Chain A
Amino acid sequence: MADLWANYIVPGLWILLQVLVVVVPLLIAVAYFTWFERKVMAAMHLRMGPNVVGPWGLLQPFADAVKMFVKETILPTSANKIVFLIAPVLTFVLALVAWAVIPFGEGLVVSDINVGILYLFAISSLGVYGIIMAGWASNSRYAFLGALRSAAQMVSYEVSIGFVMITVLMVVGSLNLSDIVMAQQKVWFVIPLLPMAVVFFISALAETNRVPFDLPEAESELVAGYQVEYSAMTFGLLFMGENANLILMSGLTVILFLGGWLPPLDIAPFTWIPGPIWFLSKIVVMLFVFIWIRATFPRYRYDQLMRLGWKVFLPLSMFWVVLTGGVLIAFDLVP
């Protein structure tokens, strides 16, 4: 009996605790991201933004959450009920499980696996199923069009994200995310690999269906794309999954190119601030840039989106893979 406790129950509870420590703040962050987005966009549009519920509208996310819980979940009569209900759950769960390998600081990671970056890539490539299933199961034209657009878009941009990751991996020599961060102690990868950082950031926009690549949910032509038939908490799950993915993509950009939890310079005033705070503040900066882009750019046309993915980013990132490999061999820098 003591064996059972020591070997299974105590480690199990410990893992559960770690998961809660990551997931609960993440959900709060997702809620406050909506507030942040609305406030920042409002400031850029010279509006007030949410300012009624709580001081500076700070309780608005909770009001929204309560509203979503108490509304009625509507199942369209001709929808494929099971797939219709699985889709938002899948989107939400995938957005959460990806955080298992994200290192918040040195050693501060739920699961420090060898193939961390491949795991993230695999999870993000699964993300498209939530959207396709939602669009198909709704049995509605708008939803279906949104799902088709989204599937093609996400598959296209995943290719260039993959090549960007390969470039970083060649420089680091490891698939472990902590190793990737530690390899940036001398210089953040955004400096030597600037073109790849730009390609990654734009592909991340396309991968998360954000403006200017929000064609899958283009509200002015497809109503809300694949989400159009969803209501109440099913919509809430899709929405939260999407925002969690956005935060994840910001985190991934920070880990791959902006030095993760490392301070900008390894000298006194910067090193006083602990690593996780650096990591989180970098994520907030990235999120601000995402919102900034949303408030600034108009939507891309679909054929131009495909052209950008396949004819510009794919050749560029492939060329950079070859170039990086060549430089590493030529200057004997292979890790």
Chain B
Amino acid sequence: MIIQTIAFYVFAAFVVGSAFMVISARNPVHSVLFLILAFFNSAGLFVLLGAEFLAMILVIVYVGAVAVLFLFVVMMLDINFVRLREGFLQYLPIGASVGLLLLVEMILVVGVLATSPDTVAVAAAPTPDITVVSNTEALGALLYTKYVYLFQSAGLILLVAMIGAIVLAHRVRPGVRKQSISAQVSRTRAEGVELKKVKTGDGI
């Protein structure tokens, strides 16, 4: 147990520390790198909880895909760091109130779970014990049966968001010579090559 406890405190300290660095680092690229460190350590916390599927999905989705795109965008930005720091204190009240709200809500959730045993029983009921099925299987069995409509509509919302982003950002530029693979492949010798008899001294 000692090892687990030590590991928990190490991971937790790294999550909190790197989350703090995300908002306080001077360079936005460093912020994103610290964000990745925070994600990675939260995945470690999930592993300690025995939720290995969630841990791996967290790394694959957030670190492997989302954060790469963040990093991509941030690296391409041409930012004046001095000007970026100027408005820092101006946003402090909004940020602090959002943080406070999140903290209160989290306390409420934990408080409800801790004070009413019924809720715990209801929340824990649908999954069989960890010794019977692995948690990947348990999650799948729940997501694709009991919560299938919620799951599918979440997927649809993401799809709509993706298509919306593409529609908004895509513009058809005139004058772009785009490669048409089918036109290239369907070209025949007859239309590509023309044989001409050239008389000496006349040209074509």
A284: interface (CB < 8 Å): no
In the bound complex, what is the Cα–Cα distance between A115 and B76 (angstroms)? 35
Report the stretch among B58-66, B119-127, B190-198 that lies at the interface: B58-66
Report the stretch among B49-57, B106-114, B148-156 that lies at the interface: B49-57
A contact residues, range: 20 to 34
B84: interface (CB < 8 Å): no
> Nearest chain A CB to B34's CB is how many angstroms away?
11
**CB contact list, B84-107 vs A, under 8 A:** none
Is A115 within 8 A of B68, CB to CB? no
**Which of chain B's residues have a CB closer than 8 A to the CB of A115?**
52-53, 56, 136
A85: interface (CB < 8 Å): no
B contact residues, range: 20 to 34
**CB contact list, A104-147 vs B, under 8 A:** 113-115, 118-119, 121-122, 125-126, 128-129, 132-133, 136, 144
**Which of chain B's residues have a CB closer than 8 A to the CB of A144?**
75
**CB contact list, B11-67 vs A, under 8 A:** 27, 29-30, 33, 36, 40, 43, 52-53, 56-57, 59-60, 63-65
Is A158 within 8 A of B64, CB to CB? yes
> Nearest chain A CB to B30's CB is how many angstroms away?
8
Is A119 within 8 A of B179, CB to CB? no
In the bound complex, what is the Cα–Cα distance between A144 and B65 (angstroms)? 19
Set B2, B43, B68: member contacting A132, Cβ < 8 A: B68
Set B30, B40, B43, B72: member contacting A148, Cβ < 8 A: B72
**Which of chain A's residues have a CB closer than 8 A to the CB of B33?**
83, 133
A175: interface (CB < 8 Å): yes
Set A121, A122, A128, A175: member contacting B68, Cβ < 8 A: A128
A187: interface (CB < 8 Å): no
Q: Which 4 A-B pairs have the closest CB atoms?
A: A125-B64, A118-B56, A122-B59, A115-B52
In the assembled complex, 15 residue pairs joining A and B whose CB atoms fall closer than 8 Å, in A order, are A8-B3, A83-B29, A115-B52, A121-B60, A121-B64, A125-B65, A126-B64, A128-B68, A132-B72, A148-B72, A152-B72, A155-B65, A158-B64, A175-B134, A175-B136
Given pairs A113-B52, A118-B57, A122-B63, 18 additional interface contacts (CB within 8 A): A8-B2, A83-B30, A115-B56, A115-B136, A119-B56, A121-B56, A121-B64, A122-B43, A125-B64, A126-B63, A126-B64, A128-B68, A148-B76, A151-B68, A152-B72, A155-B69, A162-B60, A175-B134
